[in-house]
Amino acid sequence: MSLDIDSALQLRRNQSLTSIIRHELEQMIERGELSAGERLNENALAARLGVSRGPIREACRGLEQSGLVNVVVNRGVFIRALDGREAAELYEIRAALYGLAGRLLAPIVTDEQVAILSGYVAEMDAAMAAGDLNSFYPGNLRFHEAIVEFGGNGRLAAECAAIHREMHLLRRRTLDMPGRMTTSNDEHRAILERIAARDAVGAEAALEEHVLISRSALFGPLGHYPDT
């Protein structure tokens, strides 16, 4: 019984099975338990989670709209596989959105928020010193989340989170590359510096560049992508 759906049911107050299942599936995709291209068997999922197929189908429609799965009529839902072109496109969009987040945040950032962001960078420095990717990754995630949260545009934060979920499989691969951790944290420091200086244009540029460098780490310096 790898899945604690029962405890989720106990915690459930005003949530429907559909939303619980959707959240569960999102996490399974994020944890890599469901790999790209894999098909979701509605009956098996229903049996495993102890519910009927209705809520599962509803959850899958939500996942489809948020880009995590593909639904093929009469054949089922498949964990979406990001090909090179789509991933490159997502990186471009992500760069623009994070750039916007930085531009919004820089003029209004508080000293407390700067301190929090500094804390994340320090966390990542520590993880880097220990060569520990598993510690580096959450710090990295919180750093970016905080920037969009503090920016004050809630919808932008939601949109960035959605894109992040969608790119999850790719992103880990990128950060896994040797030397990527240190480079990445240098960039984080530069971003933080521009934000702390209340430099909107500089923060925007630093964040855009940061995302595009991640893309380069995946596709090569020219932004090429595999033709698959």
Partner DNA sequence: GGATCTTAAACTGTTGACAATCAGCAAAAG
Partner DNA sequence: CTTTTGCTGATTGTCAACAGTTTAAGATCC
41 near DNA (CB under 7 A): yes
Q: Which two tokens stand for residue 41?
A: 């068997």
38 near DNA (CB under 7 A): no
Q: Toward DNA, which CB reaches closer, 77 or 191?
A: 77
Q: Toward DNA, which CB reaches closer, 51 or 68?
A: 51
73 near DNA (CB under 7 A): yes
Q: What is the footprint of DNA within residues 17-36 (CB under 7 A)?
A: 17-18
| Contact (Cβ atoms closer than 8 angstroms) between residue 140 and residue 123 | no
Q: Which of 57, 164, 165, 189 binds DNA (CB under 7 A)?
A: 57
The CA distances from residue 142 to 85, 116, 151, in Å, are 27, 10, 14
The CA distances from residue 69 to 83, 85, 118, 171, 188, in Å, are 13, 17, 36, 18, 31
**CA-closest candidate to residue 56, choices 118, 5, 112, 109:** 5
Could you list the beta-strand ranges (E) of 56-188: 69-72, 76-79
Q: Which of 27, 47, 50, 72 binds a copy of itself (CB under 8 A)?
A: 72
CB of residue 49 to DNA, shortest distance in Å: 9
Given DNA, a copy of itself, none, residue 27, with its beta carbon under 5 to 8 Å by kind, binds none
Cross-strand partners of 171? none
Side-by-side strand order, sheet with 39-40: 39-40, 76-79, 69-72
Cβ neighbours, 10 Å, residue 201: 12
Q: Toward DNA, which CB reaches closer, 48 or 57?
A: 57
Q: Which stretch binds DNA (CB under 7 A): 72-80, 89-97, 104-112, 174-182?
A: 72-80
Binding site for a copy of itself (CB under 8 A): 4-5, 8-9, 11-16, 18-19, 37, 54, 57-59, 61-66, 70, 72-75, 78, 81, 85-86, 89-90, 92-93, 96-97, 99-100, 104, 153-156, 159
Q: Which residues bind DNA (CB under 7 A)?
A: 2-3, 8, 16-18, 39-44, 50-55, 57, 71, 73-77
